[in-house]
Amino acid sequence: MKIPSETKVQAFQEEVLRLTGVKAHHQRLRFGFPSSKILKDDARSASLKEVGLQDGELLILEDLHDLFLGNLESGQFTMEEMLDKVPPSPEDGEDCTVTLFLDVLSAFEIESHSLDFWHAIRQRLREYFAEDQVGEMTKVSAGLKKLQQLFRHHDTRQRMQLILGSLPIRWKLHQSNKLVIQRSSFFESVARQVHSMNRRTMLTRLHISYQGEKGVDAGGLTRDFFASFARHMAEEAWLWRSTGRGSLHPTYGGEGGAGQMYQVCGRVFAMALLHGCKLGRPLSRPFMRLLLHVRPSSLQELQAELNYEAGEQVDFRCRKDFLETPLADLGLDGMLNFSHEGQEFIPGGAQIEVTDENKEQWLWHSLQQELFSPEAERAADDFRQGLIHVLGGRGPSLCPLLFLFAPEDLIDLWGSGALGKRELALWKSVCSVNSRIQQQAAWFWQVLEEEFDDELRSKVLQFATGTSSIGRDGLSAFRLEPGDGGDGRLPTAMTCGNLLQLPRYSSRQVLRQQLQTAVESTGSFEML
């Protein structure tokens, strides 16, 4: 970091916040050698030079919030002692560390002399799961929400394991349940079988096979099944539509059986969590917000959600100056009313013209209808019920797993659906290459980085490993080996071993063409 020595400490802390996300009151900045000097709060109006920071000095940032959580999880301190270690906060708001900590202790009835924080949480969760008291589940769900805020920077899979370890019916790793899929009617054949499963069956490991195809499921077919399921969901236009970003958002057109199908989708997504697998397409962030009961409360939030899902598409409703700019200047004067595709936002909306005076009201209703409609909310209720069928909960909406996550956390857990340059670098970093195809391997990575977009890269990853997303945990290993033949042969994969075989292609262009052909046309293949 380069910064002028005349910079005030307060301005420097704000820059640290921008770069790291650590709030100023949680920053402990050490410098000097040994690093014993501390930038103190009472020096915020002084310059860096005035507090003794020298050019080229090594600066160590400590996050007091994370240090507190480390002490909490160490088991060395009682909860009463931890109260003395809570980091400072400028004000005692609902999201300050001490308030969140006290709320969690109260919700889970953790005693002040307890040492093992997570043991107490798991113990209380098991009791709540075993009891049939909706009031108690409401209390624990609120506690889990506070726990999510307290551990908001912790790995999402660690939080998920907290719930999985508390299920009254254990995840039966050594038992298996066979799922036989017809490729020509993928979604229908999966939905029929998953709908008929009981909870004990859904808590066993899946063994995947495809009718009329050879294949031994050593893990690759299972990963491929989950990665493929969300893409086949996208083909069910009566249930889902694609946003500009490529996410799936519910349509819920009212056809018979739609609620049952959303429950099936929820069940499959829950089983994907149990198997540690990613899905091939992300669900929309507005849909995640409906799952979590966190609807936007302001027009700015609604615009941000639309802008997020629009991707590269341009929507005039996302414009920051939409409310300030006259409709005539936007070319929209007399073009809009309070309805869309036959649905009225308010009674008689089709006859109410949008004007500069009422366009803020129109924008609110328009975005609510597109992203958070009653139909989308019903789909979220059904999908959530499918999660509860597998992961536990009470009633139609109390799924404790969901209270541990923010919308972005769930998107990460189930897979973002695209493979960017950063994820590509992680993939490449664990790759080993057979010396006989060094040139072809170099072309392979060049094609992925320079010629394929994010979606096509994710298809290559699924073809080679059975999953279309690297995920937070990444890949442990990947191999590129020689394949049979030359320019006329397609690449082949063994997904159980994260192995891709490349024939000795004569040029980068040939490799690109054959690789794209393989990943886009493969519908039936032998996979291990």
Of 13-27, 145-159, 260-274, which one has max mean pLDDT?
Answer: 260-274
Amino acid letter for position 149: Q
Long-range contacts of 294-297 (CB under 8 A, 24+ apart): 294/407, 295/372, 296/372
Tell how strand 478-482 and strand 431-433 pair up.
parallel
198-204 average pLDDT score: 87
With cut-offs at 50, 70 and 90, classify the pLDDT of residue 129: low
Residue 261 has pLDDT above 60, yes or no: yes
| pLDDT at 258 > cutoff 60 | yes
The residue with greater pLDDT, 126 or 356, is 356
Find out whether 417 and 282 touch, Cβ atoms under 8 Å.
yes
* Higher local confidence (pLDDT), 283 or 465: 283
Sign of CA dihedral 381, 289, 159, 140: negative
Q: What is the pLDDT of residue 64?
A: 87
Residue 123: in which H helix or E strand, if any? helix 117-130
| Weakest mean pLDDT among 58-67, 172-181, 336-345 | 172-181
Q: What's the whole-number mean pLDDT along residues 404-418?
A: 77
Tally of CA atoms within 13 A in the half-sphere of 308 that contains its CB: 19
Which residues are registered as beta bridge partners of 181? Answer: 210
DSSP 451-513: T--HHHHHHHHHHHHS-S--TTT--S-EEEEE-SSSTTSPPEEEGGGTEEEE---SSHHHHHH
**Of 167 and 357, which is predicted with more confidence?**
357
Residue type at position 477: A
How is residue 419 annotated by DSSP? -
- Position 405 confidence tier, pLDDT thresholds 50, 70, 90: confident
Average pLDDT over residues 204-224: 78
What's the pLDDT at 471?
A: 54
The first and second tokens of residue 172, run together, are 């039966």
Pairing of β 27-31 and β 204-210: unpaired
The pLDDT value given to residue 345: 92
- Per-residue pLDDT, 220: 72
Instruction: Give me the sign of the Cα torsion angle 335, 307, 299, 259.
Output: positive
Q: CA–CA separation, 216 vs 415, rounded Å?
A: 25
Cα 475 to Cα 155, 178, 433: the distances in Å are 16, 26, 15
Global pTM reads: 0.71
Q: Give the Å distances, CA to CA, from 185 to 79, 235, 391.
A: 55, 11, 27
In this prediction, residue 526 carries a pLDDT of 35
31: helix, coil or strand? strand
Beta carbons within 8 Å of 64's beta carbon, 6+ residues apart = 25, 26, 27, 28, 87, 88
Read off the tokens for 101. Answer: 């900590």
Q: Are 302 and 366 in contact (CB under 8 A)?
A: no
List Cβ neighbours of 303 (8 Å cut-off, separation of 6 or more). 317, 318, 320, 363, 367
Task: Work out the pLDDT band at 378, boundaries 50, 70, 90.
Answer: very high
Name the range with the highest mean pLDDT among 309-318, 430-439, 486-495.
430-439
CA distances from 45 to 11, 17, 484 (A): 9, 17, 69
**303 pLDDT band (50/70/90 cuts)?**
very high
Is it the case that residue 256 has pLDDT exceeding 60?
Answer: yes
Residue 524: the pLDDT is 33
Indicate if the alpha-carbon torsion angle 44, 49, 55, 60 is positive or negative: negative
Pick 53 or 286 by higher pLDDT: 286
pLDDT given at position 327? 93
Assess whether 318 carries a catalytic annotation: no
pLDDT, greater one: 89 or 451: 451
Bigger pLDDT: 308 or 393?
308
Q: Is the pLDDT of residue 280 over 80?
A: no
pLDDT of residue 137: 67
Sorted by sequence, the CB contacts under 8 Å of residue 488 that are 6+ apart come out as none
Helix/strand/coil for 332: coil
Please state which of the ranges 224-233, 360-369, 373-382 shows the lowest mean pLDDT. 224-233
For residue 523, what pLDDT is reported? 43
Per-residue pLDDT reduced to its tens digit, 465-482:
876 666 545 577 899 999
Tell me the per-residue pLDDT of 75-112, one tens digit each, with 9 for 90 and over: 899 999 999 999 877 665 666 888 999 999 998 889 99
Alpha helices in 248-354 (DSSP H): 258-275, 285-291, 299-310, 327-330
Residue 120 has pLDDT above 80, yes or no: yes
How far, in Å, CA of 441 to CA of 448, rounded? 11
Question: In which band, very low, low, confident or very high, does the pLDDT at 167 lie, cut at 50, 70 and 90?
Answer: low
* Rounded mean pLDDT, 9-13: 82
Residue 134 has pLDDT above 60, yes or no: no
Predicted pLDDT at 509: 94
Q: What is the pLDDT of residues 481-527, one digit of tens each?
A: 999 889 999 998 877 678 899 999 999 999 999 999 988 765 433 33
* Catalytic-labelled residue, pool 265, 318, 399, 496: 496
- What's the confidence (pLDDT) of residue 525? 33
